């Protein structure tokens, strides 16, 4: 009797409908299983990083990346694949940079009186990279005495009396006490972006900038610099943190001069492209869920973490849903943005055309923080819609807890921010940030800096969020 009752209760329980959340949990588990076993993001990133390499907007390599990713999209069963024109600046690094510091070291002898001939000149070549958009010195070079500063405001206090014809060395490090390395980066990067013009205002001849990283190493980090047209343009170069530390130590003991040669130049703007593919929604095709990254990178290294990882994440989102025979309710659009690094030409062009067409992006998800272990997602929106969006966004939290992912307020992403006026939710994918700036904008941002499993975990996390937003919406 008891045994019969047991089977009766069991059969009743099995006949109960599975909750929607259970359905979602099962499907997300399938997404992770499929991505970790069959995802192609790592092999595609290998090709971008090692076969194509650095993809500066307007370069041959950038165009190769456009053709490569368009070709991948065309092999998928998408409803549409197309290129979208955008205007991009064209900057070329030219020949290898040469930065050599010179100082005099006293020759100690029995005599306590040292003559000028008793000082031997020492020199060292620094690890350096021209900053994006900087002008070059050409073969004649620039020479001068180095003045060390730690903030842009200090320049105005020093004035032309101290800075005229000098080489300004910006040496404010990223703050190691910040838990988020992106916060540390934001607190130091102004000297790289605006330092050249602020120094030129007071007659400086060139600037050197400490690389934007918490690592102590010999890898210089390039990155964008912006000239103020009100002041002369002067050369701007980054030096490695090890060299910055040594230079700072020397400057505390004696004057140091530097000789700089670089060959960078700016060319007229060119036409490049965003690469776009989409699957139309079956129920709400007018509601777009965008997932993307930026296809361009700096010309050194392979742009693996920044931002080849984001591009291959987005490609895997489409492919994994297809492999699972998932038919989306809303239109899912994959976008490879061009020119994030040097002006946001692609993001602006995309938003302008989208607004002109009257499109509505319910959600836009950007992956532009590397291919490291996923930590979660942050989101933002216009104030008048954010509260309701955020309540629904965070309602997915229990489904992500088995994967140790958070959902919280924060930034969306540089390429998707121009879409904010459409009043959708802008979402940033957030991997662990601790190692990101070890590679950011350097020659070592290559495939061997990327862990395949971590990269695939990111693709699975983003695919899962796309699935949940598509299934349940955000309102």
> According to the model, what pLDDT value does residue 238 have?
98
pLDDT above 90 covers a percentage of the chain that reads: 92
Confidence of residue 118 (pLDDT cuts 50, 70, 90): low
Domain ranges of the chain: 20-89+268-472, 98-263
For residue 459, give every residue at least 6 positions away whose Cβ sits within 8 Å of its Cβ, in sequence order, or none. Answer: 35, 39, 41, 312, 313, 316, 317, 320
> According to the model, what pLDDT value does residue 119 have?
65
451-to-50, 304, 435, 455 alpha-carbon distances in Å: 15, 11, 12, 6
> According to the model, what pLDDT value does residue 401 have?
97
Q: CA nearest 277: which of 71, 41, 80?
A: 80
Q: Report the chain's C-alpha Rg in angstroms.
A: 26
> According to the model, what pLDDT value does residue 109 have?
52
> According to the model, what pLDDT value does residue 108 have?
53
- In tens, the pLDDT along 175-202 reads 999 999 999 999 999 999 999 999 999 9
- In tens, the pLDDT along 137-173 reads 999 999 999 999 999 999 999 999 999 999 999 999 9
Residue 111 has pLDDT above 80, yes or no: no
Report d(CA 346, CA 357) in Å as an integer: 17
- In tens, the pLDDT along 247-297 reads 999 999 999 999 999 999 999 999 999 999 999 999 999 999 999 999 999
Q: Which residues on neighbouring strands pair with residue 86, listed in sequence order?
A: 272
Instruction: For residue 234, give both structure tokens.
Output: 């002067």
Regarding the domain with residue range 20-89+268-472, which homologous superfamily does it belong to in the CATH classification? Zn peptidases (3.40.630.10)
* 3 state DSSP class of 169: strand
For residue 298, give every residue at least 6 positions away whose Cβ sits within 8 Å of its Cβ, in sequence order, or none. Answer: 54, 56, 132, 222, 223, 306, 341, 441
> Mean pLDDT over all residues of the chain?
94
> According to the model, what pLDDT value does residue 8 have?
43
Confidence of residue 9 (pLDDT cuts 50, 70, 90): very low
**Cis upstream peptide for 163 (omega within 30°):** no
> According to the model, what pLDDT value does residue 7 have?
44
> According to the model, what pLDDT value does residue 20 have?
73
- In tens, the pLDDT along 317-343 reads 999 999 999 999 999 999 999 999 999
Instruction: For residue 101, give both structure tokens.
Output: 């510091």
Mean of the pLDDT values across residues 79-87?
A: 98
> According to the model, what pLDDT value does residue 4 have?
47
Residue 312 has pLDDT above 70, yes or no: yes
Mean of the pLDDT values across residues 109-133?
A: 75
Question: Can you list the alpha helix ranges (DSSP code H) found in 122-172?
Answer: 152-163
> According to the model, what pLDDT value does residue 147 have?
98
Mean of the pLDDT values across residues 451-459?
A: 98
213-to-53, 176, 182, 297, 449 alpha-carbon distances in Å: 22, 10, 10, 17, 16
What values do phi and psi take at 245, rounded to 5? -65, -45
Confidence of residue 373 (pLDDT cuts 50, 70, 90): very high
Report d(CA 168, CA 163) in Å as an integer: 8
Q: What is the pTM of this model?
A: 0.93
What values do phi and psi take at 191, rounded to 5? -65, -30
> According to the model, what pLDDT value does residue 379 have?
98
How many helices and strands (H and E) does the chain possess? 14, 16
Q: CA nearest 463: which of 381, 367, 340?
A: 367
| DSSP string of 9-78, one letter each residue | HHHHHHHSPPPHHHHHHHHHHHHHHHHHHH--HHHHHHIIIIII----TTSHHHHHHHHHHHHHHHHS--
**10 Å Cβ neighbour count for 71?**
11
| CATH number for the domain formed by residue range(s) 98-263 | 3.50.30.30
Q: Judge contact between 86 and 348, C-beta under 8 A.
A: yes
What values do phi and psi take at 276, rounded to 5? -130, 135
Report d(CA 401, CA 133) in Å as an integer: 44
> According to the model, what pLDDT value does residue 418 have?
98
Q: Which of 12-16, 31-35, 82-86, 403-407 has the lowest mean pLDDT?
A: 12-16
> According to the model, what pLDDT value does residue 134 have?
98
Residue 12 has pLDDT above 60, yes or no: no
> According to the model, what pLDDT value does residue 475 have?
86
């Amino acid at each position: 009797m008891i045994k019969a009752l047991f089977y009766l209760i069991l059969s009743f329980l099995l006949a109960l409908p599975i909750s929607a959340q259970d359905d979602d949990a099962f499907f997300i588990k399938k997404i992770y299983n499929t991505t970790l076993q069959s995802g192609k993001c790592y092999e595609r990133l290998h090709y971008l990083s090692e076969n194509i390499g650095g993809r500066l907007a307007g370069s041959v390599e950038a165009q190769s990346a456009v053709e490569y990713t368009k070709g991948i999209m065309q092999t998928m069963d998408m409803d549409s694949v197309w290129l979208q024109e955008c205007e991009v600046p064209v900057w070329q690094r030219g020949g290898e940079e040469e930065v050599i510091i010179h100082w005099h070291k006293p020759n100690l002898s029995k005599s306590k009186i040292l003559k000028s001939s008793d000082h031997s000149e020492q020199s060292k070549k620094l690890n350096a990279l021209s900053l994006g958009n900087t002008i070059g010195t050409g073969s004649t070079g620039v020479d001068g005495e180095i003045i060390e500063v730690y903030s842009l405001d200090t320049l105005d206090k020093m004035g032309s009396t101290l800075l005229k014809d000098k080489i300004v060395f910006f040496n404010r490090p990223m703050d190691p006490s910040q838990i988020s390395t992106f916060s540390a980066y934001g607190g130091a990067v102004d000297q790289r972006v605006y330092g050249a013009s602020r120094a030129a205002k007071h007659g400086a001849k060139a600037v050197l900038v400490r690389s934007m990283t918490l690592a102590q190493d010999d890898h210089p980090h390039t990155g964008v610099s912006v000239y103020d047209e009100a002041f002369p343009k002067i050369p701007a170069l980054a030096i490695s943190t090890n060299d910055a530390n040594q230079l700072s130590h020397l400057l505390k003991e004696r004057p140091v001069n530097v000789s700089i040669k670089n060959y960078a130049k700016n060319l007229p703007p060119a036409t490049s492209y965003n690469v776009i593919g989409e699957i139309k929604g079956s129920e709400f095709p007018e509601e777009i869920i965008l997932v993307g990254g930026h296809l361009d990178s700096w010309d050194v290294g392979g742009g693996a973490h920044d931002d080849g990882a984001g591009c291959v994440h987005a490609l895997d989102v489409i492919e994994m849903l297809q492999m699972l025979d998932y038919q989306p309710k809303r239109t899912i659009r994959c976008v490879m943005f061009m020119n994030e690094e040097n002006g946001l030409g692609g993001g602006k062009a995309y938003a302008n055309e989208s607004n002109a067409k009257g499109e509505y992006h319910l959600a836009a998800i950007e992956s532009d923080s590397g291919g490291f272990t996923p930590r979660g997602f942050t989101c933002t929106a216009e104030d008048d819609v954010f509260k309701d969006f955020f309540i629904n966004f965070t309602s997915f939290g229990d489904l992500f807890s088995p994967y140790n992912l958070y959902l919280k307020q924060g930034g969306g992403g540089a390429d998707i921010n121009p879409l904010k006026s459409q009043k959708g939710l802008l979402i940033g994918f957030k991997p662990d940030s601790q190692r990101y700036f070890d590679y950011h904008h350097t020659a070592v941002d290559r495939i061997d800096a990327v862990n395949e499993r971590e990269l695939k975990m990111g693709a699975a996390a983003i695919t899962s969020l796309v699935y949940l937003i598509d299934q349940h919406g955000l309102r």
